[in-house]
Every structure is written in C-alpha cells, then in structure tokens.
C-alpha cells in the first residue's frame, strides 16, 4: 500500500474548499432575476439551503405573492438547482411563445428516468421524437378533427345525465367516470362497462396517482442525491427504486393493454367515427416495431392527460354553481330562451354559437380555478438573457398559470371573484371568438387536447344546466351547508381538485325527470 504524506488530506480539503468557494463566487457574479435569497454559503455537494420564503404549500399562491415583491420573473435557488417562476402574461408570451426553441424542453428529473416517464409526450424533451409524437397526436385532436368525436360526447354525456337523475348523491363518482369513458371510446373504441371495476381504468387511474405523488419536487431522496439512481432497491434509502419499478409496470400496461384491445378488434371498430388507434394503424407507413411502439405511446398518453384534468374542471363547475346561484340562473335563462322549457329538447353543439353566456361560464371555470396551477415545468435548451438577467441552460422554468389567470391587467378587477361577464362585451357577445384559455398553457407545449376537452366540458355544462338545479346541500339539521365563497377548499397537488363537498342536484321539472329516465345506459 502506498503511504501518502499526512498533509495530503488537508491539501485536498483545501482544494475542495477553494473549488466550492470559487463556484459560489462565479455564481454570485451572474445577474439572475430577483428572488428570495438562499443561505449565503453552499453546503458541499448539496449547494445552498433554500430561503424560508419559498412556499411549500399551495406554491402557486406563494409565488404570486413573491411576484408582488420581486416582479414577474422570480428566481429561486435551492440545492444546486435554479428555478425561474413566470408570473405575468407578458413575460410568459415573451419566453414561451417568442422564444420557443429555448423554453420548450423538460427538466431532467431522476424519477423521470427511473419510471421511463419520457416514453410519453408530456415528459419528453424538446426534439425530433417529441415533435413526431406531437404531430401524430395533434392530427387527431386539433379543432377540426375533434369535432368528428362529438357523437361520442353526446352519447356519454346523456348517460351521465341519466346517472345524475337516478343517483344525484353520487355525482362525484359520475363526474369521475365521464372523462375516462369518453376518452377510452374515442381512442380505443372501448366502452367502459363498469367504471368502478374496469381493469383498463383502474390501472390508468393508479398510474396517474402514483406519477403525481412521485414527481412532486422533493418527494424522493433521489431528487437531492441523483447518483442514488444507480443503487439497487435493497440499499438503505433507495426504496424509491421499488416505487419506480411499480410505476414502470403500470405505465407499460396503460400503454399496451388498451392498444392491444383496439388492435385485436380493429376490423369490428371501423365505426363512424373510427377510434383514433384504428385511424393511426391505417395511416402507419411501414408497421415496423418502432412505429408501433410510437403509436402505443401516443395513444397511451391520452387517458393520463385527459381524465384527471377534466374531472377537476367538472367538479369546479358543480362547486361554482352551488356557490353562485344567480350566475346559474342567468345561464339557465339563456338556455331556456333558446331551447324552451326544461326538458323540451337536448342541447347540441349546434346551439353553442347562440349561448355566449354559457361559453363565458366555461372560460371562467377554467380561469377561476385552473386545473394545473403551476403547469408542467419547462426547461431551457440554451443559455438566454431576458430583461438583462442571465438564464442558464437546462434551467427549470415554471409558468404560474394561477398568476396569469388572476392578473388584473388581463382579466379586470377582482380576479378572485367568479364572474363570467368578464369574458363578455356590454352587449352580451363574447370578447374573443376563438379564445383559448390560459389554463391550457402557451407556446409549443400548449395542451394539444384542449379542443377535445372544451367540447366535453361545454356539452356537460350546458346539459346539466338545462336539466338540473344545483344548490347547497342540506345538513341533517335542515340547514344549508356552507363553503367559503372567497376561498373554497382545493387540494395542494399538481392537478388541483376541489376537496370533497356535497351539493343538491334536482331535476328542473317532472318532464326532465321522465325524459332522462328514458335514456338507455346500455353501451
């Protein structure tokens, strides 16, 4: 064994200290956007301890407050990681729309790698593979293509109305089932026989839940020590490996099993409209293993991307109608003026242009409580300079959707209030004909399924309003149960949901009750 001089260890420690100090000084010389200052001296290997001012719960609200102090672009530094929070529409458009080549990638996260999350378009970095996925997905979900699936929306929403009519107290379960049933029929031609017991749905729901929990920043020790991703699960502290393995198995089932169903039944599924997977198979150029894998991934992301987000928006609608009866009544008055007495006829998409207040109500639901308050984080593909500030390559950049949808300069005074009139001109017409909600994001990463989602939401909203009165639930003592109008309770999760609440749902007339009772639930 070679004997090193006794002062070698001290010399190495001194060199490391000089390196850490030099890195800290170099970093300090760069002009980052303002933000809460971390602890000044770095900890070896970990970096600097984050400021106590960084919000840990409901971060979209905390970052909106920080923007009042630091400005629209807030810099947060924690443990060798730089994060930039975008809190104004102007800054968001400047970065995500005007500089898309720089701001359209995804951050590298250890759990993304371990769970193979980048199989799906939402987790892929900006590049040729992502563009191929995006083009294929958008071909079937852009505005014109989405209209072909409106008959499916009608069928599923009518079944939903029947369930509300029969069991209104279970409205949350009916809401949970509607988007999943719609997207499974659209993409795979698969009609969910029983949402609560269906294996395809069960796996997709569990995958969504596990991904949301696992990818919460700081949820796993590997977030702080990425090198641990190379260690097996039996090493103390590496239990995340088992979790990642389970998520990979769920992902594979979500990707492969429904696709296999459509592939097996493709000759029986040449319907009008044909399921998206059948269309993609017909358009496949070579049918190679690589191409088929791409199609599995593109179709597999559909349920994960569409179900939970749509459920959140639907539950916000029911909550808003229970809290704001005057707004509900105004929407019903508009519908009745067009369709006649409740139960006279079903609303259809042909009525959409003649119901501006209902459209404004949809826009307000998405604005008032955006389903992804902090969006999905972006990452920079190159160094950039914005407003004189340095933004490094591979930096995480987060669009604070909450701040954008509650900005007074964009949406008028009192943005916390639920007020569909903010989207209408004084004469009652819509301010913008082809408005796209900020809740869907901006730039190349804007939600590609937004037109499909808006169709599902609009038809559900207008149908429920046409046939039902939604009110506050009654307690066992006969009093109305109260929900705080100023601050209704929502979950502190990536996809934010209203916390469980009760409300009364009653048919608006006996005619409505009889009409909906005649709808068949047989698929």
Q: How far apart are CA 494 and CA 81, in angstroms?
A: 20
At 244, list the tokens.
């990642």
Determine how β-strand 378-379 pairs with β-strand 73-78.
unpaired
**Annotation-wise, does 447 bind a ligand?**
yes
The DSSP code for 444 is G
Contact (Cβ atoms closer than 8 angstroms) between residue 42 and residue 477: no
Of 309, 443, 319, give the one whose Cα is nearest residue 381. Answer: 443
Q: How far apart are CA 384 and CA 406, in angstroms?
A: 27
Contact (Cβ atoms closer than 8 angstroms) between residue 203 and residue 481: no
Determine how β-strand 396-399 pairs with β-strand 389-391.
unpaired
Of 429, 423, 110, 360, give the one whose Cα is nearest residue 241. Answer: 110
CA triple 178-176-266, angle to 5 deg: 45
Which residues, 6 or more positions from 35, have their beta carbon under 8 angstroms from its beta carbon?
A: 51, 66, 70, 74, 75, 76, 77, 85
Sign of CA dihedral 158, 163, 169, 173: negative
Q: How far apart are CA 386 and CA 389, in angstroms?
A: 5
How many Cβ atoms from other residues are within 10 Å of residue 17's Cβ?
Answer: 11
Q: How far apart are CA 501 and CA 315, in angstroms?
A: 9
Give the CA count within 13 Å in the CB-facing half-sphere of 341.
5
> Which residues participate in the annotated binding site?
447
Residues at the binding site for heme are 447
């Amino acid at each position: 064994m070679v004997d090193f001089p006794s002062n070698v260890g001290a010399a190495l420690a001194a060199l490391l200290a000089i390196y850490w100090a030099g890195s800290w000084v170099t970093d300090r010389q760069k002009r980052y956007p303002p933000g809460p200052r971390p602890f000044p001296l770095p900890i070896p290997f970990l970096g600097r301890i984050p400021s106590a001012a960084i919000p840990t719960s409901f971060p979209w609200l905390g970052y909106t407050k920080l923007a009042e102090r630091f400005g629209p672009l807030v810099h947060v530094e924690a443990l060798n990681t730089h994060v930039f929070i975008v809190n104004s529409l102007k800054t968001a458009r400047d970065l995500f729309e005007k500089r898309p080549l720089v701001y359209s990638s995804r951050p590298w996260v250890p759990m993304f790698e371990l769970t193979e999350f980048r199989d799906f378009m939402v987790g892929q970095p900006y590049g040729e593979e992502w563009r191929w996925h995006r083009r294929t997905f958008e071909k079937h979900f852009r505005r014109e293509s989405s209209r072909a699936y409106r008959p499916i929306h009608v069928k599923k929403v009518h079944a939903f109305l029947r369930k509300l009519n029969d069991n209104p107290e279970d409205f949350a379960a009916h809401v949970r089932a509607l988007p999943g049933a719609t997207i499974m029929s659209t993409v795979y031609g698969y009609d969910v026989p029983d949402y609560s017991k269906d294996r395809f749905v069960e796996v997709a729901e569990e995958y969504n839940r596990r991904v949301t929990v696992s990818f919460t920043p700081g949820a796993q020790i590997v977030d702080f020590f990425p090198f641990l991703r190379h260690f097996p699960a039996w090493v103390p502290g590496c239990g995340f490996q088992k979790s990642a393995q389970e998520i990979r198995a769920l992902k594979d089932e979500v990707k492969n099993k429904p696709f296999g169903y459509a592939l097996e039944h493709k000759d029986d599924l040449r319907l009008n409209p044909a399921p998206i997977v059948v269309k993609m198979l017909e358009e496949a150029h070579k049918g190679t293993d690589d191409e088929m894998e791409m199609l599995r991934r593109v179709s597999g992301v559909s349920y994960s991307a569409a179900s939970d987000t749509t459920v959140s928006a639907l539950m916000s609608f029911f909550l808003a109608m229970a809290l704001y009866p005057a707004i509900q009544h105004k929407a019903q008055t508009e519908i009745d003026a067009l369709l006649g007495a409740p139960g006279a006829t079903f609303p259809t998409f042909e009525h959409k242009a003649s119901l501006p207040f209902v459209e404004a109500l949809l826009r307000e639901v998405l604005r008032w409580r955006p389903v992804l308050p902090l969006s999905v984080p972006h990452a920079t593909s190159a160094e950039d300079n914005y407003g004189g500030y340095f933004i490094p390559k591979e930096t995480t950049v987060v669009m604070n959707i909450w701040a954008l949808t509650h900005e007074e300069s964009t949406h008028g005074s009192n943005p916390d209030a639920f007020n569909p009139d903010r989207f209408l001109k004084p004469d009652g017409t819509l301010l913008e004909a082809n408005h796209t909600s900020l809740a869907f994001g901006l730039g190349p990463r804007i939600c590609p399924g937004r037109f499909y989602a808006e169709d599902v939401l609009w038809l559900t909203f207008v149908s429920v309003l046409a046939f039902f009165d939604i009110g506050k639930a009654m307690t066992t003592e006969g009093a109305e149960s109260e929900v705080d109008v100023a601050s209704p309770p929502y979950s502190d999760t990536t996809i934010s949901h209203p916390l469980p609440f009760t409300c009364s749902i009653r048919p608006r007339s006996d005619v409505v009750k009889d009409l909906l009772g005649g709808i068949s639930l047989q698929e």
